[in-house]
Structure formats: C-alpha cells, structure tokens
A and B are shown apart, each in its own frame.
Chain A
Amino acid sequence: MKYAFFPGCSLDSTARDFRKSTEAVCGRLGIELEEIPGWTCCGSTPGHATDATLAVALPVVNLLKAEKMGRDVVTTCAACYSRLRAANDEMSHESDVRATVDEATRSQYRGTVRVRHLLDVLVNDLGLAVIRDYVERPLAGLRVACYYGCLLTRPPKVVAFDDPEHPVALDRLMATIGATPVEWPAKVECCGAGLSLTSPDVMRRLAFGILQMAERARADCIAAACPLCQSNLDLRQPESVRAAGSGLSLPVLYFTQLLGLALGLEPAELGLSHLFVSARPVLEKIPAGAMR
C-alpha cells in the first residue's frame, strides 16, 4: 500500500507528535508514505477566507506534484484534507476560478488525484481485521471519546467518508484496538479552530464544552484527528478549563498515538512527551506489556 504523503505545515511544528506517531504506525502496518517532494502550504482557512482562486490554486500546486508520482494522496491534517478535496471539487467543473487556476499553475488539472485521510485509509483500505492482527497491547478498559471535529465530516459532499452527524470510523478503530469508545454528543462539535489566536475567549468556551462532555461521558481520554483540534483541546486545555472555573484534566491524544500504543510501539516513538496534558493516566490504565 503506497501513498503520496502530504503532511501539511503543522506536522513539522505544533503537530510534530502527529507526524511521529503517523510514521511509526504506518511503518508497523506496512503502509508506505512517500512525502510529496517540495510540497507547499494548502492555504488552509486563510486561503479560502481571502481569495477563491488562491484557495484552489495552492492545493492544486500539490495535487500536480502528486499526479507526477502516480499515487493517491494521503494526509493526516484535517484542514489539508478538506482543502485538497475542495480543490478537486472546484477543478472538476468549469468556472472562472478554474480558468484562472489553470493559468496560474500552467496546467489543466481536473481533480483526478484521489485524496484520502489516514483514518479512511486505515479503516477502509487496510481494514479493521488486518489491524486487529497487529494489535499486541489491547487498550482494554480504556474509555475513549472519539473526536472527529468539523473538517473531516463536513461538508458531506466534499469530504465525508463517514456520516457527518454521527461518524463511527474512529470509534470502530478504537474498538478494534481493544478500547471502549464512549457515546457522547460532542463528536463533531467545533473546537474553536483559528479563533484560538484571534478571539481566544470564544475558543476557550467551545473547547471547554467538548472537554466537559467527554468528562461527563466518563472518558479516560479524547482521541483527536486534527492538529488544530488537538492543540485547542490539549495545549489550550489549562486556559480553557481555568476560564470556566473548572478543575478538569483529560489527556487528548492523536488517534495514531493510541493506535501505536496498541500496536506495541513505545511512548517515545509516538511523541507522547510532546503532549501538554500528560498521557500518564492513559499509560497507567492500559495493561502494561500485555501480549496476545
């Protein structure tokens, strides 16, 4: 299984642990990730909020590079996933935007490179039965609140490989590795995204709402699938909790970190030390070194 890997800007900075755990997990599962040479920023939210043409052109620059590699693209960043998919959608029908993008990129790209999120690849390409065979340390007894966020699930026509209101792909993955996915209402609620930098008081309220719901569902941790979600819920957990006058504390791990633990990988390989809110309660909960 070989893919053209589009890491996105945050994976070399604030989401370094997402990169580490993704590469470790894919290595163990035999998923070959070849990083797109010279990849550049997808434009993320600032792109589409500023200029409709730039918002499509920036992802297309990368899709053209992937086209040369002859592989489907896989990405772990939800924003990059959303933007690459949106660009494919825009380029597949005629419009002024498409004409300008053609000119700006000196090409005639028509949205033909498939773009997948790693979660989709794991659950639907590799398959849960295969993953189950690789599990060495089932996360038995660990209650996980699976948090999908917005960009993996909406708008459904563009990105969804799962139900936009009640997705289950991550829940099924967590169940496969022995954990207990909890039922909770904040699966696809917004974490506050970029407001963390521009209007943080709003973000704090949104982030706290999610953390509180996970706590009420008696989750031991939250499994995140997006670098910004993870950052808002982890790096900004102390300030969000303080603003709400609460004392809660809940580890927020990338789903690849949890998967990696179940596959028998070491915390160091998975970048657990990068977490702001310590993963110790999670490590203490799972049966240490239990081999199947």
Chain B
Amino acid sequence: MIEVDKQLTVSLIEELERQPGGQIRACYQCQKCASGCPISFASDWLPSQIIRLILLGETREVLSSRAIWLCLTCSACTARCPMGIDLARVMDVLRQRAVEEGLAPAATPEAVFNELFLKSVRRHGRVYEMGMLTRFKLRSGALMRDVEKFPTMVAKGKIALLPPRGGDRKTVREVFDKVEKKK
C-alpha cells in the first residue's frame, strides 16, 4: 500500500525547486530519462516514475526504494531531459534525504559503502582502499567476494597494502567537523 505523505513531499519539492535543475514539476513524462537509464533493468522504479511518485505525494515510497541507490549518477538523464531537470542531482538529494529520514532500507550496501568511504577520507585525508574494503566486507557480510582476486591484485600491484600518506589530513578533518556542526 503506497502512502501519501504531504509534509514530507512538500518540503522535498521545495528543497528541490531551490536548486538549479530541480524544477520537477516541469516533467511531462517523455521517458527519455527512463530509456537511457542503464540500471533500469534492475530497479524497482524508472527515473520518470520517481519524479511522478514525488509529485503524487508518494515520497516515502521513493525514499525507501532501491532505485535511488542503484542510480549511478551517470547523468544520462540530466543530459537528455528536454525540460532541463537535473535528475542526477535530484537523485543525490533523495539519497541524502533517505538517510536523514531513516527511510533507506537497513544495510543498503551503497549507503554503507558511502559511509565507510567518507570515514576513510576523514581519517587518512585520502581513501585507504584496503581498510575500507575490509570494513565493508565485515559490515556487508560479503566476506568471500573477490577474495580469489586478492593475490593477483597484490602481485600485479593493483592494491596499496599500506594507508596513504602525504594528504593534508588536518584540513580535511577540520572541514568534516565544521560541515557536521553546521547540520
């Protein structure tokens, strides 16, 4: 049963319309975005449907969907929309809101990955891939995935075993903290 949430919808539409490319009411359902979306085959909603659902007030459905996490921000939709809607940017806002409202499905791998990536950046100033991948595997339970590749990756010098150095960690940490405080 899809529920209409007026307050959430109104505040979301207002937030979107404050941004360049966020005028989703301009959408006339031409389906160019849907036709070019590379992940549509795996998704619960097409990008055109996401826009329509928001305008119909069914924001909870959108914010708890798989679609917004499968979205790769490849921006094919943005590049093609005849009304200049920046759908990739809209998707970013939806992802941010989904996490803020606690509506993202529990343990959404993409959300977990994003969190760990940024934690790694805050800590090292640059991404420590090894550290992040290990934590991701532990959190997601996909412990054995890619394990067979690991020796070859090391042999081919495709993965740095030690944390990165040389990045201005201090400034990065300050930035993270100040942005967090502002929220």
Q: Give the B-binding residues of A (Cβ under 8 A).
A: 9-10, 12-14, 16, 38-41, 43-55, 57-58, 61, 65, 100, 103-105, 150-151, 153-156, 164-165, 188-190, 192-195, 197-202, 205-206, 235, 273-276
Q: Is the CB of A150 within 8 A of B72?
A: yes
Q: Pick from B72, B92, B159: contact of A193, CB below 8 A.
A: B72
- Which residues of A are found within 8 Å of B114, using beta-carbon distances? 45-46, 49-50
A199 to B70, CA, bound (A): 8
A100 to B180, CA, bound (A): 11
A40 to B28, CA, bound (A): 42
Q: Is the CB of B167 within 8 A of A39?
A: yes
- Which residues of A are found within 8 Å of B164, using beta-carbon distances? 9, 12-13
Q: Is the CB of B175 within 8 A of A155?
A: no
Q: How large is the interface on B (under 10, 10 to 19, 20 to 34, 35 or more residues)?
A: 35 or more
Minimum Cβ distance to chain B for residue A148 (Å): 12
A151 to B133, CA, bound (A): 23
- Which residues of B are found within 8 Å of A49, using beta-carbon distances? 73, 92, 95-96, 110, 114
Q: Is the CB of B78 within 8 A of A155?
A: yes
- Which residues of A are found within 8 Å of B145, using beta-carbon distances? 200
- Which residues of A are found within 8 Å of B8, using beta-carbon distances? none
Q: Is the CB of B158 within 8 A of A52?
A: no
Within 8 A of A (CB), among B163-183: 164, 166-169, 171-172, 174-176, 178-179, 182-183
Minimum Cβ distance to chain A for residue B163 (Å): 11
A199 to B140, CA, bound (A): 11
Q: List 14 A-B contacts (CB under 8 A).
A: A9-B129, A49-B92, A49-B114, A104-B178, A105-B175, A155-B78, A190-B39, A190-B72, A193-B74, A195-B39, A195-B72, A198-B113, A205-B41, A205-B42
Q: Is the CB of B167 within 8 A of A38?
A: yes
Total of A-B residue pairs, C-beta within 8 Å: 177
Q: Is B49 an interface residue (CB 8 A)?
A: no
Binary per-residue interface labels of chain B (121-133) against chain A in the complex, 1 for a CB within 8 Å, 0 otherwise:
1000111010001
Q: Give the A-binding residues of B (Cβ under 8 A).
A: 38-39, 41-42, 69-70, 72-76, 78-79, 86, 88, 92-93, 95-96, 99, 109-110, 112-115, 117-118, 121, 125-127, 129, 133, 136, 140, 145, 149, 152-153, 156-160, 164, 166-169, 171-172, 174-176, 178-179, 182-183
A153 to B36, CA, bound (A): 15
Q: Pick from A48, A154, A189, A235: contact of B158, CB below 8 A.
A: A235
Q: Is the CB of B158 within 8 A of A16?
A: yes
Q: Is the CB of B96 within 8 A of A40?
A: no
- Decide: A40 near B179, CB < 8 A? Known: A9-B129, A150-B75, A198-B113: no
